[in-house]
Structure 1
Amino acid sequence: MMETQALDFPKIDAILRSNGTGEVTINGTSHPIEADNEATVLKEALALITETAAQLGRPVKVSTTDPDGQGTIIVSPEGDVSEAASTKTAKTSPRRHKTPEPTAQPVRTAPADVEAPATPAAAPAETARFAAAATPTKQPAPSTEAASAEPSTRRSLKDTSFLVSAPILEPATRGWRRVLTRLGFRMDPSAEELAEREDIRTVSQHWPGPRTVAVVNRKGGANKTPTVVMLSAILARYSGAATVAWDNNESQGTLGWRTEKGSHDRSVLDLIDSSQTLLSPSAQAAEIARFVHHQTSDKFDVLRSDENDEGDHEVTAEEVDIAHQVLTRYYRLIVMDSGNTSRAANWRRMIHHTNQLVVPVTAIEDRAEAARLTLQTLESRGGHDAELARNAVVIVSESTDAKRSMNGDALKRAKDEARRIAEGFAPHVRAVVRIPYDPALVNGPIRYDALQPATQRAWLAAAAAVAKGF
């Protein structure tokens, strides 16, 4: 087999970068590659590797690196590419029904014709039964005694189906694997890509009935508002479900400042005043647009808190009930921002309506301590509140202060602190997700498309963790 012939010598490393460059290193000798696109980079890299294999007269093993991660492939002297068997797992190869052999299976551009098994013994038992039933051969009639003693093997048609229900594994769409697939070498997705696909599947679900997420931390500056925006954007984008981000601050919150403003100035107080009309049987779905502010690229709506500087109205528990009743009439998913007072009537009523609790925290000690106290307060109340605390999702974002200095030591300290805080919360909640620093989250309007790819991936993981609680 190909891989059993492939030796660790020569040592070959192949790098594919997202900026259209690559590099093949053979026994320490570097061969930089520049081209207009990934496909051309990969063709040139494969040509170098194939030439090396041809000179040796045997397959060679190649360690690959791309933006999606690392892997190992085998390249033959003829240019055939396969994935090293050591990288194959049940997760990355769900199509296999038998235990794979410890050898690489080459994937060719022109697969050879596959013939049906020559003998029925090679076919599954169910297929053999169908084949036997269709074969017009004469069988000796069983004796009366044998017929009466033999149990019936006839099955009900309700117990079978000709439809294929198993999911089909789509080929890789990222990195080396994607480009190899485009060139005709069908490659399975990497473990990283499979994990991302699973997160996307999770956030794309629809649930029976509306769901409410509360984002809470009694300390200001803990990243509550960016968390509300990111969760709303991802869940709305992938699921297509009607989603609203609601600023449930006691008086004036900041959600409206970090999101797109519509053509009006209405807030939650206006929605409450019009609740009877909005809840009437004759009300139409589009009427809610008079009170919310649509986010054109991220596909969710924002219900702002009151921004009247001359007003002193504080939202009551009864008004939270009214607003929540209206929103569940028009939306499948509600993500609630909150103030910093866990004793406030509107804060406690928000918790009453919550299905999933999210506690954001930046990698700063006082924010982490405030998050801990928030969870502790809910846990001490027992019942529904305690259950929310136990099943909470904690989202730890790296500190922005250390990042602004762009000092290597400060960056490392920020990551280490985020890791330490995440590990501290992990035993006490359902899930903890870490988010890397991203300047697009610091100031101004928040847009999902403005984030760096690594940040988008981290927020997708966070949204998936939240959706698993629905």
Structure 2
Amino acid sequence: MMETQALDFPKIDAVLRANGTGEVTINGTSHAIQADDEASVLREALRLITDTAAQLGRPVKVSTTDPDGQGLIVVSPEGLVSETALAKPSPRRQKNPEPALSAPAPVHAPVEPAAEEGDPPAARVTFGAAVSHVQEPAPAAAEPLTRRSLKETSFLVSAPVLEPAMRGWRGALTRLGFRMEPSPEELTEREDIRTVSQHWPGPRTVAVVNRKGGANKTPTVVMLSAILARYSGAATVAWDNNESQGTLGWRTEQGGHNNSVLDLIDSSQTLLSPGTNAAEIARFVHHQTLDKFDVLRSDENDEGDHEVTAEEVDIAHQVLTRYYRLIVMDSGNTARSANWRQMITHTNQLVVPVTAIEDRAEAARLTLQTLESRGGHDAELARNAVVIVSESTDAKRSMSGDALKRAQDEARRIADGFAPHVRAVVRIPYDPALVNGPIRYDALQPATQRAWLAAAAAVAKGF
């Protein structure tokens, strides 16, 4: 097989970047690649690697790196590509190499160990071919047919067809005609997308709580709302349930009005009447044009002294569940306030954000402890909570390498501390787009988007 002919010499590393650049390093000599798109970078990389294999007269192993992770492929002098595991060949294969070049294993499945005598030949894939043809073994002697009931027969395919890789080296090879199997990282991402794309019977309410300010509550509300609205298509509203004046309206787009939750409460009878059109809710919420969710702002009247009551929380929640499938509630810092406690009675899933600072973490612990001590519904929410640990800090840009590592270690320590006590813990990397100004999903770095997708999937599993 082709893998048995590929030796560890020469050492070849290939890097594919999402910005249209790449690099092939052959025995320490680097070849930088720039092209118009990812596919062109890959073609040039494969040309360099194939030329090396042709000069040697045998296949070569290539360690690949891309935004989706690392892998190992084998490239033959004819330009054939197969995917292999990152394990070293077994001793048997080192002592008894194949005497001649065999056809490669199918590129859409991991390479099997060297074929024993009598094994059927592997599939051969040519450059640009979209389909592999596998020689099937001869069928065994037919068994006598037994008549079966039609009730026991179905022509439906029970398992979904696995789509080929779409990311990194595997995805680029797929677009060139090599049907590559997705990496474990891509499969995990697909599962997270499937989870957040689900619809569920009845409305769901998420409460984002931490009784310490600066714990990333508002960015968490925005990101969860954006991801769930984008992927599920469900009508989603982010509600600033601060007892007086919150900051959710400052970090999101404002619509063509200044209405807040107090205006919605004042118009609740009209909004709940059978004859009211669903579009009327737009008079009271602020639509996020790119992230596809609405925002219900808290009262922003500096001269006002109204604090939202428990009864008003009930009224607003009744209105919103008529117009939305998903409600994500921001909250103030006072777990004793009437509106905070009433929010908890409506909550289906609790989310506790925390930055990697010990006083924020301690406040999160006390918040969970308070709910757990109340028993019943509150305690169940605490046990099934999702804790989101963010590495964000204003000083991150100026940190040295050692300081950055210490900050990441602290985030890991805090996450590990919460893990035994809640249903899920997710870590979010630092991203300057979350620090100041309006928050938009598309402004985040890819790694941050991926982390927030994982957080949203953990939340959605609680629905």
How far apart, CA to CA, are the structure 2 residues paired with 1:356 and 1:381?
Answer: 17
Matches within 5 A, 1:218-237: 218-237=211-230
Question: Is the Cα contact below 8 Å between 1:82 and 1:106 reproduced in 2?
Answer: no
1:402/1:299 CA distance change after superposition, 3 Å:
same
How far apart, CA to CA, are the structure 2 residues paired with 1:57 and 1:223?
Answer: 58
Task: Please tell me the residue identity of whatever aligns with 1:119.
Answer: P
Matches within 5 A, 1:129-278: 154-278=147-271
**What's the offset of the Cα at 1:37?**
2.1
Question: Is the Cα contact below 8 Å between 1:85 and 1:102 reproduced in 2?
Answer: no
**What's the offset of the Cα at 1:469?**
0.8
How far apart, CA to CA, are the structure 2 residues paired with 1:277 and 1:17?
Answer: 54
* Match in the other structure for 1:58: 58
**What's the offset of the Cα at 1:55?**
2.3
* Match in the other structure for 2:314: 321
DSSP 3-state at the match of 1:73: strand
1:101-150 per-position Cα deviation (integer Å, ceiling 9, x unaligned): 325865433456567765355xxxxxx78xx76xxxxxxxxxxxxxxxxx
Matches within 5 A, 1:268-307: 268-307=261-300
How far apart, CA to CA, are the structure 1 residues paired with 2:149 and 2:204?
Answer: 41
RMSD value, Cα: 2.1
1:113/1:431 CA distance change after superposition, 3 Å:
closer
* Match in the other structure for 1:82: 82
DSSP 3-state at the match of 2:251: coil
How far apart, CA to CA, are the structure 1 residues paired with 2:36 and 2:59?
Answer: 29
* Match in the other structure for 1:67: 67
1:26-54 per-position Cα deviation (integer Å, ceiling 9, x unaligned): 22222222222222221121112112222
**What's the offset of the Cα at 1:85?**
4.2
1:362 matched to 2:358? The reply is no
DSSP 3-state at the match of 1:196: helix
DSSP 3-state at the match of 1:414: helix
DSSP 3-state at the match of 1:360: strand
* Match in the other structure for 1:26: 26
1:349-368 per-position Cα deviation (integer Å, ceiling 9, x unaligned): 11111110000001111101
Q: TM-score, normalised by structure 2?
A: 0.89
Q: TM-score, normalised by structure 1?
A: 0.88
Percent sequence identity is 87
Question: Is the Cα contact below 8 Å between 1:107 and 1:186 reproduced in 2?
Answer: no
How far apart, CA to CA, are the structure 1 residues paired with 2:20 and 2:132?
Answer: 33
Task: Please tell me the residue identity of whatever aligns with 1:101.
Answer: E
1:306-338 per-position Cα deviation (integer Å, ceiling 9, x unaligned): 111222111111111111111111100000000
1:179/1:100 CA distance change after superposition, 3 Å:
closer
* Match in the other structure for 1:145: none
Task: Please tell me the residue identity of whatever aligns with 1:403.
Answer: K
Give the ranges of 4+ consecutive aligned residues of structure 1 lying more than 6 Å apart after TM superposition. none
Task: Structure 2: state its 5+ residue gaps.
Answer: 88-105, 115-121
1:86/1:335 CA distance change after superposition, 3 Å:
same
DSSP 3-state at the match of 1:247: strand
1:314/1:359 CA distance change after superposition, 3 Å:
same
How far apart, CA to CA, are the structure 2 residues paired with 1:106 and 1:369?
Answer: 59
Task: Please tell me the residue identity of whatever aligns with 1:5.
Answer: Q
* Match in the other structure for 1:101: 112
How far apart, CA to CA, are the structure 1 residues paired with 2:341 and 2:213?
Answer: 18
Mean alpha-carbon deviation: is it higher for 233-242 or for 321-330?
321-330
* Match in the other structure for 1:338: 331
Task: Structure 1: state its 5+ residue gaps.
Answer: 88-92, 122-127, 134-152
**What's the offset of the Cα at 1:19?**
2.6
Task: Please tell me the residue identity of whatever aligns with 1:421.
Answer: I
How far apart, CA to CA, are the structure 2 residues paired with 1:389 and 1:160?
Answer: 47
Question: Is the Cα contact below 8 Å between 2:16 and 2:22 reproduced in 1?
Answer: yes
How far apart, CA to CA, are the structure 2 residues paired with 1:164 and 1:48?
Answer: 42
**What's the offset of the Cα at 1:8?**
1.5
1:352/1:113 CA distance change after superposition, 3 Å:
closer
Task: Please tell me the residue identity of whatever aligns with 2:282.
Answer: A
1:107/1:467 CA distance change after superposition, 3 Å:
farther
1:267/1:172 CA distance change after superposition, 3 Å:
same
DSSP 3-state at the match of 1:7: coil
1:159/1:306 CA distance change after superposition, 3 Å:
farther
Matches within 5 A, 1:91-130: 101-102=112-113, 107-108=125-126, 109-110=128-129, 118-119=138-139, 121=141
Q: Specify which of 433, 439, 442 is matched with residue 449 of structure 1.
A: 442
Alignment coverage as a number of residue pairs: 435
1:66-95 per-position Cα deviation (integer Å, ceiling 9, x unaligned): 1111100011111100110458xxxxx9x9
* Match in the other structure for 2:98: none
Question: Is the Cα contact below 8 Å between 1:364 and 1:399 reproduced in 2?
Answer: no
How far apart, CA to CA, are the structure 2 residues paired with 1:398 and 1:105?
Answer: 47
How far apart, CA to CA, are the structure 1 residues paired with 2:349 and 2:160?
Answer: 29
* Match in the other structure for 1:149: none
How far apart, CA to CA, are the structure 1 residues paired with 2:458 and 2:134?
Answer: 43
How far apart, CA to CA, are the structure 2 residues paired with 1:324 and 1:380?
Answer: 25
Mean alpha-carbon deviation: is it higher for 452-461 or for 399-408?
399-408
* Match in the other structure for 1:143: none
* Match in the other structure for 2:100: none
1:100/1:65 CA distance change after superposition, 3 Å:
closer
How far apart, CA to CA, are the structure 2 residues paired with 1:68 and 1:316?
Answer: 48
Question: Is the Cα contact below 8 Å between 1:73 and 1:84 reproduced in 2?
Answer: yes
DSSP 3-state at the match of 2:198: coil
DSSP 3-state at the match of 1:326: helix
1:348/1:158 CA distance change after superposition, 3 Å:
farther
Task: Please tell me the residue identity of whatever aligns with 2:29.
Answer: T
Mean alpha-carbon deviation: is it higher for 67-76 or for 400-409?
400-409
1:409 matched to 2:402? The reply is yes
Task: Please tell me the residue identity of whatever aligns with 1:274.
Answer: S
DSSP 3-state at the match of 2:212: coil
1:191/1:85 CA distance change after superposition, 3 Å:
same
DSSP 3-state at the match of 1:466: helix
